[in-house]
Amino acid sequence: MIATGASGNETRMQWAALTGVIATVSVFAIAQGLSYPLLSFILQRQGISPAMIGLSAAMTPVGFIVSSPLIPALARRFGAGRTALTCAALSAIMLALIGWTQNVYLWFPLRFLIGVVTNPLYVLSEIWVIALAPPARRGRVMGIYSTVISAGFAAGPLCLLAVGTEGWPPFLVGIAAFVFCGACLALVLQRLPKVDEAGHRVSVMGFMPMAWLLLSAVVVAAGFEQAVLALLPVYGTYYGIAEARMSALLSVMIAGNIAMQVPLGLLAERLTARLVRFICVSLTVLGCVLLPVLIETPLIWPCVFIWGAVSYGIYTMSIIELGERFTGSELVAGNAAFSLMWGVGGIAVPPLAGGAMDILGAGGLPITLGAICLALAVTTVMRRRIV
């Protein structure tokens, strides 16, 4: 009876810690989701060119890429908890400096630095969620985690409707969100598992040969998401579709992403994350084929809803499989490698798809995205054992 009670208490503490980490990530996502459109609106009011605005926004994912290889060493040297709390504080300071300077050229290094300091917070939180999730329920837990991240990013721009985009109020909301993020984390810090294990150490570069196909899936998922968000409105102009309708289509796509990650996670528990990821990739390819056929018909609405669900499902299934296959320093290095590959995909694929549209017209977008997804699907089939 004593053992059972202890086990029950331990389980409750585990779920409490898991809830705290997910709450931390949700607030972090809101702050990030608010900052991207806010800074773009401010630069637009200053008369900055779209190209310069795009370059400014690219500084944050560059910061992700640069900081990712450093995360395992930071977790070992200072402890994962201390590193995450420090990054939450530094994120608030960086956002305050951005609000104070209001200068496009100073924003380049500041947006780079905000990418550097927010990335460890995101990566370490994801590691804690994976480590705390009971193996039998990892699919649904990671589905909830993905849903919370997506909903947080979507809620960020909604905050701007309440506080506007001028002056300090929107920046104060973002700063408060980062501070609250750190407070949520501090409340559960003592219950979090150790991720800065001594012993066998794996670097980010050393991890890549161990799971190159998983990392390729992350590149595809990131590149797909960023390319669609940036170029689907442009795609609609080729067909003379109003901006309002294309914006609504993007909203439906994001809704599919938010609504369907938990069902996909439950499906992964019944099948396997590897098999569900292959299904997601295959359906994403099908969506690329159907896009030009359905874009001017009412069927495009359910199509993009499913498209949004399965395209992001590629990442959700990859993170589930990462947690199934790796622990300790390998898991830390793997999550950091995921973050690095997300930055690579987000930077590389949108220009590739945009260039294809310059050459091929509207068809360049679904052709490019379909091709990279098809390559991932074919490689998955050819590899009997995914590594």
For position 356, what pLDDT does the model report? 87
284-to-173, 187, 256, 293, 366 alpha-carbon distances in Å: 36, 40, 13, 15, 10
- 226-235, 292-301, 356-365: which has the minimum mean pLDDT? 226-235
Smallest CA-to-CA distance from 72 within 155, 223, 196 is with 196
Mean pLDDT taken over the chain: 84
**Predicted pLDDT of residue 1:** 32
CA distance 34 to 114: 14
Mean pLDDT on 179-184: 86
- Place 28 in a pLDDT band, splitting at 50, 70 and 90: confident
pLDDT tens per residue across span 325-382 = 888 788 888 888 998 998 888 888 888 888 888 888 889 989 999 999 999 999 988 8
d(CA 63, CA 25): 19
Q: What's residue 93's pLDDT?
A: 94
Between CA 70 and CA 62 the distance in angstroms is: 14
Interval 57-102: pLDDT, tens: 778 888 888 998 888 888 888 888 889 899 999 999 999 999 999 8
- In single-letter form, the type of residue at position 113 comes to L
Highest mean pLDDT among 130-134, 198-202, 277-281: 277-281
Name the DSSP letter for residue 326.
Answer: -
Neighbours of 371 (CB within 10 A): 15
Give the distance, in angstroms, between the CA of residue 102 and the centroid of all CA atoms in the same chain. 27
- Tell me the CB-side half-sphere exposure of residue 105, using CA atoms within 13 A: 0
Distances (CA, A) of 168 to 48, 90, 117, 178: 20, 18, 22, 15
Comparing CA positions, the residue from 349, 357, 356 lying closest to residue 238 is: 357
Determine what percent of the chain is predicted with pLDDT higher than 70.
93
